[in-house]
Chain A
């Protein structure tokens, strides 16, 4: 069974701080990785995708990928209370052309 593991949290950070979210995956064949944000009672919305080793930045968000360690992370700079949500990590399942999702990390940004 292919798996994506995340710490369930909650991860609590003060407003303005950097939030660091981490994820590991078991499928060495995965080529695509995604971070989704999910507010309570709502559907997931895509924040970032990353396909190559290294960093990818988009505004306050930076995704990091290390395929050798099978590790993906998301950094949120200048965290805002509106960033408080559950963040889902997903990895491509090449055998099925589907995504495998982690259980999510709940982030709380304290004003």
Chain B
């Protein structure tokens, strides 16, 4: 089955800890995205990557870091500099060629809670 997987489903972080959220896709999509969703709110863009070894900051990149060493993988690290990281984190991907280059498909999400 083709799709986007995110792990873990639930993650608990202690104050001062860095944690890494995994996002993997086997859709052969070039572009990948990380969003944050707070209760009752829409999706805010954290980082995005159009091709391997390249990524750009979104609207709320402070306190987060990413890497894109492989086309299939786009992990997100939530650092201790992110003061309020409790949220639902969503990974998405989109093809860069073909008729639907803007359509984003989402993984199941990771719910991060700070203890």
Q: How far is the CA of A100 from the CA of B105 in the complex (A)?
A: 14
Q: Closest residue to B106 on the A side, CB-wise?
A: A43
Q: How far is the CA of A45 from the CA of B35 in the complex (A)?
A: 14
**CB <8 Å contact, A97 and B109:** no
How many Cβ-Cβ contacts under 8 Å join chain A to chain B? Answer: 55
**CB <8 Å contact, A43 and B102:** no
**CB <8 Å contact, B58 and A98:** yes
Tell me if A99 counts as interface (CB < 8 A to partner B): yes
Place the interface of chain B in its size category: 20 to 34
Q: How would residues 69 to 99 of chain A score, 1 for a CB under 8 Å from any chain B CB and 0 otherwise?
A: 0000000000000000000101010001111
Query: Hey, which chain B residues are within 8 Å of A4, CB to CB?
Result: 42
**CB <8 Å contact, B45 and A43:** no
Query: Hey, which chain A residues are within 8 Å of B50, CB to CB?
Result: 97
**CB <8 Å contact, A92 and B42:** no
Q: Closest residue to B58 on the A side, CB-wise?
A: A98
Residue from the list B33, B41, B42, B108 in contact with A98, Cβ < 8 A: B33
**CB <8 Å contact, A99 and B108:** no
Q: How far is the CA of A44 from the CA of B40 in the complex (A)?
A: 14
Known contacts A43-B106, A49-B102, A97-B31; 14 further A-B pairs (Cβ under 8 A): A31-B102, A32-B103, A34-B102, A34-B104, A42-B109, A43-B108, A46-B103, A49-B103, A98-B33, A98-B58, A101-B35, A101-B43, A101-B44, A103-B41
